[in-house]
Amino acid sequence: MRVHHLDCGTMCPIAGRLMGGDRLLGRGLMVCHCLLIETARDGLVLVDTGFSTADCDQPSRLGRGFRAVTAPRLARAQTAVEQVRSLRLDPADVRHLIVTHMDLDHAGGIADFPRATVHLHRRELEAARARSTLQEKQRYLPQQWEQHASWNPVSESGDTWLGLPAVQKLAGLDADIGLVPLHGHTRGHSGVVVRTDRGWILHAGDAYFHHMELVDPPSAPVGLRVFQSAMQMNGVARHASQAVLRRLHREHPEVRILSAHDPAELVSATYRAVG
């Protein structure tokens, strides 16, 4: 098994240092950290999908507000499908997509892999299809994924994993890849655990945004804290999810925990070549 760490959607949010950037008045930096996994029997597996080629060609569909706040670069070369090609791999071999949640910066790339099966928490798929609040109408964009045919919504009935409840190993995959409920950011937001040759990775999506949120006491640039609170669907659940991650980090430091948007974690993971 080989794991590639990809940024499938760099964003340069406003408010610079408050969002983790170097300069107070400059722009911050956020990545869309995706995992491309070369498996022995399951072909290529992509964890989170970033933006699609269609998003790059037609940025307006992402909405003016989202683009104003996050300033996504939307370069075609950054899309997952183009990065698969750059690695001299075949996009048709991407058979499985696993999304932590369906926010527009995580689900966009689904459209570029029309034959793959999308695995996600059942609650998240239902929320994305229902779009029952104004905020969910803005964060979930059906034009990114409504044409997609193959879905595998997963419920909570699995085993425990390192003390985390209800890990569901994904049906149809031979590799040890499972979904861990980490709700709060969205209704069905989940993490993805992957057993690699060099140990476990937990892709925690947007359950946290900054690596200092994994340590006790947690901290993060104030802008990221405000942003997370503004985007949460359930604050109690989100804080509980972060507590679970802090305990895992404390008790099992060998597990590489990743957030979707922390650029420092992406650099660290890339240079250590996990997997």
Q: Residue 7, interface with Zn ion (CB under 5 A)?
A: no
The tokens describing 198, both together, are: 């060099």
Cβ-closest position to Zn ion: 206
Minimum distance, C-beta of residue 106 to Zn ion, in the bound complex (Å): 6
Looking at 118-126, 150-158, 204-212, 222-230, which segment touches Zn ion (CB under 5 A)? 204-212
Say whether 82 sits in a helix, a strand or coil.
helix
Nearer to Zn ion, 105 or 112 (CB): 105
Looking at 2-10, 41-49, 100-108, 140-148, which segment touches Zn ion (CB under 5 A)? 100-108
Question: How many residues bind Zn ion, per CB under 5 A?
Answer: 2
Nearer to Zn ion, 28 or 158 (CB): 28
Looking at 18-26, 104-112, 138-146, 149-157, which segment touches Zn ion (CB under 5 A)? 104-112
Rounded CA separation 32/35 (Å) = 10
Maximum C-alpha span of the chain: 49
Question: In Å, what is the CA distance from 132 to each residue of 93, 158, 251?
Answer: 35, 28, 38
Minimum distance, C-beta of residue 42 to Zn ion, in the bound complex (Å): 25
The residues, ordered by sequence, that sit 6+ positions from 60 with a Cβ below 8 Å of its Cβ are: none
Which residues, 14 to 53, sit near Zn ion by CB under 5 A?
none
Q: Residue 105, interface with Zn ion (CB under 5 A)?
A: yes
Q: Helices marked H in 115-208 — which ranges?
A: 122-130, 134-139
Phi-psi region of 117 (alpha: psi -120 to 50; beta: other; left: phi over 0): beta
CB-based contact 203:5 (threshold 8 Å): no
Looking at 48-56, 59-67, 190-198, 201-209, which segment touches Zn ion (CB under 5 A)? 201-209
Nearer to Zn ion, 42 or 105 (CB): 105
Q: Residue 265, interface with Zn ion (CB under 5 A)?
A: no
Q: Residue 112, interface with Zn ion (CB under 5 A)?
A: no
Q: Residue 206, interface with Zn ion (CB under 5 A)?
A: yes
- Find how far residue 80's CA is from the centre of its chain: 13
Rounded CA separation 37/54 (Å) = 23
158 phi/psi in degrees, rounded to 5: -90, -165
The residues binding Zn ion (CB under 5 A) are 105, 206
